[in-house]
Amino acid sequence: MDRRTSIKAIVAASLGAGIGPMPLLSAGKGQGSRASSSLDPYAEMRWARGYEGQRRADLGDGTFLNPVFAGDHPDPTILRDGEDYYVTFSSFDAYPGIVIWHSRDLVNWRPLTAALRTPIGSVWAPELIRHDGRYYVYIPARFPDRRSIYVIHADRIEGPWSEPVDLDLPRHIDPGHAVGEDGHRYLFLSGGDRVRLTPDGLATVGEVEHVYDPWRYPEDWVVETFAPEGPKIVRRGEWFYMVTAVGGTAGPPTGHMVIIARSRSIHGPWENDPQNPVVRTRSEREKWWSRGHATLFEGPGGRWWMIYHGYENGYWTLGRQALLEPIEWSDDGWARPLGGDLSRPIAKPVDLGAQPHGTPLSDDFTVDRFGTQWAFYDPAPDEAARVRLAEGALHLRAKGSTPGDSSPLCCIAGDHIYRLEADVEVEPGAEAGLLLFYNRRLYAGLGFGDEGLVMHRYGLQRARGTPPGQRDNGAAGPVRSLGLRLTNDRNILTIHTSSDGRRSWQKFDVQMEVSGYHHNVAYDFLSLRPALYAAGRGTARFRNFTYRALG
């Protein structure tokens, strides 16, 4: 049996592995719980569980079940450095951003650092590489009135990372770095374009040129738009391979797809794969929608893989999650994915035994976790000055007048059912609370302050008096401290308050359905994230933030 045949056998066996039922919240157990619906064709899926019950891919039996990164981890860019692998993702409006993760088995990952500290706008589809002993991240970013591609660099992957250098490329996104057979460095760009780099990689040489006309799908396919983007270049043997996304990133679930072209020279001509697209969601009944933005790379033991993103069926709110798929090389030298629709377990690239994965989201605010967990949404350059950690509390200076313009602190959740709790105190003039936050236009949750409770729904605010136990008649009045609990049960939000230090909880009288809080409604390519906010004047204090996945 040759190695290619053995890989196919391993994958075929793992795809046929049985999957037990997913543990569910029983009716009446826990607030906001509901039984699994027979309408969900994937209700029988079982993921492994990590920190605080968060789902993880490694099943502990030599197989994994996608996603390898649950929750919003779009546009993955991966670097192999010996036996170590590093990956980062689009961080959009979150700062600190460009969180770099490390793994040796491609399934279990731990965060190392946030490489980007200086706001340069909304960050889209970066490229992480190593060249001549130095690490680089090429970063497309856009402010409302300016867009370009920047580069940061470091001598060690952990940093320190440099300040951003502007490459003055205002018309392109999604850079893909390559070194040609001529020894020159290039950035391949959206739309089939390319520009040459200086030897140090910190400036461009000459003008942007068009070098590739991407493969086009049939006219009657259901897609969002053509949008050729995310070119990633890999060299294998005598060929350069260009992997590109077309079909639009969101929109219809069947739109986004992966195509491949190859050339014997970095300068072309580029030959399209006769089996394009090599990855595509063909039906809205599949587990993973809008699969695309892929990178080919060699993994442990010489086996090849593809990492890309996709939306989970029924969970646009979780954003684009990172997916890992094995490939084989055909006799005529094309990459052939082996993972099917990725709805079943797959053999791990290598089994190194028990490995930590992810990071706990609960925070007692005794150590600085900005960048690896917390990030400001759409911050000003001096946003960090709003934060102080002291006496076991996060002291957050108020900003703006609503959650939408307050630059809330957010973290990424990847579970179908989870619960947040925190103790919150506000000074006069301030309003603070807990949210499920998508963007400045769309969020849900509860806050309080001078006017009592403030309900947030659809991105709109409504005063709701004071909670039970603080004023018998429920009339409006100031609230200065409160325990808050948000439970997100498959996109149903239930809110509770506690006036006695979380010893007892009172259910808020409005529950919210939030499945529409996503990109196809409000743009921005983000996810619905747990968030802390403080608006108005003065300071809010948050203590004992806890996160728990419930199923």
**What string of H, E and C letters represents the secondary structure of 168-231?**
CCCCCCCCEEEECCCCCEEEEEHHHEEEEECCCCCCEEEEEEECCCCCCCCCCCCCCCCCCEEE
Cα–Cα dist 523/481, whole Å: 34
State the amino acid at position 38 in one-letter form. S
Under DSSP, the state recorded for 531 is: E
Distance of CA 146 to the CA centre of its chain: 24
288 and 227 assigned to the same domain: yes
Residue 250 in domain = yes
Residues 6+ apart with CB under 8 A from 195: 169, 186, 187, 189, 204, 205, 206, 207, 208, 209
- Locate 277 and state its tokens: 């697209």
- Report the pLDDT value the prediction gives residue 416, as an integer from 0 to 100: 98
Cβ atoms of 184 and 212 within 8 Å: the answer is no
pLDDT confidence of residue 43: 55
DSSP code of residue 370: B
pLDDT single digits (tens) 105-129: 999 999 999 999 999 999 999 999 9
Beta pairing class for 417-426 and 409-410 = unpaired
Q: Which two tokens stand for residue 332?
A: 């005529």
For residue 295, being part of any structural domain is answered with: yes
Residue 384, domain CATH: 2.60.120.200
Indicate whether 427 belongs to any domain. yes
Domain assignment of residue 366, yes or no = no
**Tokens in use for 289?**
């929608």
- Domain around 290: 1-23+45-75+212-350
Q: Which residues of the chain have pLDDT under 70?
A: 1-44, 468-476
Whether 180 and 220 map to the same domain: the answer is no
* pLDDT tens digit sequence for 425-472: 999 999 999 999 999 999 999 999 999 999 999 999 999 988 765 654
Segments of 284-407 assigned E as strands: 288-298, 304-312, 315-329, 335-337, 346-347, 375-377, 387-390, 393-397
Helix (H) / strand (E) containing 519? helix 519-522
Same domain, 250 and 297: yes
38 assigned to some structural domain: no
CB 455 within 8 A of CB 461: yes
Helix/strand/coil for 10: helix
Within this chain, do residues 404 and 544 fall inside the same structural domain, yes or no?
yes
Q: Which of 229, 374, 406 is nearest to 309 (CA)?
A: 229
Task: Please indicate, yes or no, whether residues 103 and 2 belong to a single structural domain of this protein.
Answer: no
Report long-range pairs for 367-370 (Cβ below 8 Å, ≥24 apart): 370/96, 370/114
| CATH number for the domain that contains residue 232 | 2.115.10.20
Q: What is d(CA 281, CA 452) in angstroms, rounded to the nearest whole number? A: 48
**Residue 426 and residue 323 share a domain:** no
- Calculate ∠ Cα 418-419-421, nearest 5°: 155
Same domain, residue pair 503 and 514: yes
Task: Confirm whether 541 is domain-assigned.
Answer: yes
CA atoms of 234 and 180, how far apart (whole Å): 10
- The pLDDT value recorded for residue 44 is 57
Same domain membership, residue 426 and residue 534: yes
Q: Beta-carbon neighbour count of residue 363 at 10 Å?
A: 21
Please tell me the distance from the alpha carbon of residue 158 to that of residue 167, in angstroms, as a whole number: 23
| CA pair distance 515, 392, nearest whole angstrom | 34
Residues 445 and 429: their CA atoms lie apart, in Å, by 20
How many domains does the chain fold into?
A: 3
SS3 content of the chain, % helix, strand, coil (to 5): 5, 45, 50
Q: Indicate if 423 and 492 belong to the same structural domain.
A: yes
User: Would you state the pLDDT for residue 465?
Assistant: 84
Within a domain: 360? no
Using a 10 angstrom Cβ sphere, with 0-12 exposed, 13-18 middle and 19 or more buried, the burial of residue 404 is buried
What span, in angstroms and rounded, lies between the C-alpha atoms of 446 and 436? 9
What is the token pair recorded at 483? 């325990």
CA–CA dist 402, 342 (Å, integer):
41
Distance CA 98, CA 405 (A): 23
Model-level pTM? 0.91
Residue 262, amino acid: R
Residues 381 and 322 both lie in one domain: no
In this predicted structure, what is the pLDDT of residue 483? 98
Q: Which of 284, 315, 350 is the last residue of a domain?
A: 350
CA distance 185 to 112: 27
Q: What pLDDT was estimated at residue 467?
A: 79
Residue 405, φ and ψ in degrees, nearest 5: -115, 20
- Residue 380 sits in the same domain as residue 345: no
Number of residues assigned to the chain: 551
Tokens encoding 32: 């906001």
Asked if the structure places residue 487 within a domain, the reply is yes
Structure tokens given for 477 = 């009045």
Residue 28 — left, alpha, or beta (φ > 0 → left; ψ -120 to 50 → alpha)?
left
Q: Look up residue 74 and give its two tokens.
A: 């779009």
Same domain flag for 401 and 426: yes
CB 519 within 8 Å of CB 255? no
Residue that is written with structure tokens 């991105």 in the block: 459
